[in-house]
A and B are shown apart, each in its own frame.
Chain A
Amino acid sequence: MSSLNRVNESNMKASFLVILAVVTILAPFATANAQTPSGAQNGKKVFEKLGCSRCHGSAGEGMPQTGNGPPKIAATHLSLREFVGSVRDPKGQMPPFGAKQVSDAELSDVYAFLQSIASQPKLELPSSANSDNGKRFYTSFGCYECHGLEGQGSAQTGGARLGPPQIPFSGFAAYARQPTGQMPPYTSKAISDAQLADIYAFLRSLPRASPAKEIPLLNQ
Chain B
Amino acid sequence: MGPRRKNPVSRRDFLKNAAAGAAVLAAAPAATAKPATLERDTPAIPASPDVEHRPPPAVEILTAERTGSDFMVDVIKSLDIEYVCANPGSSFRGLHESIINYGGNRRPEFITCCHEESSVAMAHGYAKIEGKPLLVMAHGTVGLQHAGMAVYNAYCDRVPIVIIGGNIIDATKRISAVEWAHSVQDAAAPLRDYVKWDDLPISLPHFAESTVRAYKIAMTPPMMPVLLIVDGELQENPTPNDAALQIPKLSSTGPPQGDSGSVAEAARLLVAAENPVLIAGRAARTPAGMIYLMELAEALQIPVIDQMDRMNFPTRHPLNQTERAGELIAGADVILGLEVNDFWGAVHSFRDQMERTSRLVARPDAKSITISAASLFFKSNYQNFQRYPEVDVDIAADAEATLPSLTEAVKRQLNASRKSALADRRVRLAAAHDKALQRARDAAAYAWDACPISTARLAAELWAQIKEEDWSLVSNVALMSRWPVRLWAFENYYHFIGGAGGYGIGYGAPAAAGAALANRKHGRISVNIQCDGDLMYGPGVLWTAAHHRIPLLTIMHNNRGYHQELMQVQIMANRHSRGIDRATIGTTISDPPINYAKLAQSMGVYGDGPISDPKDLGPAIARAIQVVKRGEPALVDVLTQPR
Q: How far is the CA of A11 from the CA of B363 in the complex (A)?
A: 14
Closest residue on chain B to residue A155 by CB atoms: B481
Mark out the residues of chain A between 182 and 211 whose CB falls within 8 Å of any chain B CB in the assembled complex: 182, 184-187, 189-191, 209-211
Shortest Cβ gap from A60 to chain B (Å): 24
Alpha-carbon gap, A98 to B364, bound state (A): 10
A interface with B by C-beta (< 8 Å): 1-8, 10-11, 13-14, 17, 95-96, 98, 100, 140-142, 144-146, 148-157, 159, 161, 163, 179, 181-182, 184-187, 189-191, 209-213, 215, 217-220
Q: Are B445 and A215 in contact (CB under 8 A)?
A: yes
CA distance A98 to B331 in the complex (A): 9
Asked whether, in the complex, the Cβ of B443 is within 8 Å of the Cβ of A152, the reply is: yes
Find the A residue at minimum CB distance from B450: A150
Chain B residues, CB < 8 A from A182: 351-353
Among residues of A, the one whose C-beta sits closest to the C-beta of B360 is A100
Q: Report whether B441 and A14 are in contact in the complex, using a CB–CB cutoff of 8 Å.
A: no
Question: Which of B83-91, B565-573, B604-612 lies at the interface?
Answer: B565-573
- On B, residues with C-beta under 8 Å from A are 325-327, 329-331, 345, 348-353, 360-361, 363-364, 438, 441-448, 450, 452, 454, 456-457, 460-461, 463-464, 467, 478-482, 486-487, 502-505, 562-568, 570-571, 573-575, 577-581, 583, 641-643
Q: Are A155 and B486 in contact (CB under 8 A)?
A: yes
Bound CA–CA A10/B350 (angstroms): 11
- Does the CB pair A144–B642 fall under 8 Å? yes
Chain A residues closer than 8 Å to B441, beta-carbon distance: 212-213, 218-219
A159→B443 CA distance, assembly (Å):
13
Show 28 residue pairs from A and B whose CB-CB distance is below 8 angstroms, ordered by the A residue. A2-B504, A3-B564, A6-B352, A8-B349, A11-B350, A11-B361, A95-B326, A95-B327, A145-B566, A148-B643, A149-B450, A150-B454, A153-B446, A154-B642, A155-B482, A156-B478, A156-B481, A156-B482, A157-B481, A184-B353, A187-B574, A191-B579, A210-B448, A211-B445, A217-B460, A217-B464, A218-B445, A218-B460
A155 to chain B, nearest CB (A): 4
**Given A152-B454, A185-B575, A146:B567 Cβ within 8 A:** yes
Which of B452, B562, B567 is close to A149, meaning CB atoms less than 8 Å apart? B452
What 10 pairs between A and B have smallest CB-CB spacing?
Answer: A14-B326, A184-B574, A11-B349, A152-B446, A209-B445, A212-B441, A152-B447, A150-B447, A6-B352, A10-B326
Task: Specify which of A3, A17, A212 is in contact with B444 (CB 8 Å cutoff).
Answer: A212
A62 to B512, CA, bound (A): 48
B564 touches A5 (CB 8 A): yes
Instruction: Supply 18 further A-B pairs (C-beta < 8 A) apart from A142-B581, A211-B445, A218-B444.
Output: A1-B565, A4-B503, A14-B330, A17-B327, A95-B330, A100-B364, A145-B567, A148-B642, A149-B450, A152-B443, A152-B447, A153-B446, A155-B443, A156-B482, A163-B446, A184-B353, A212-B442, A218-B441
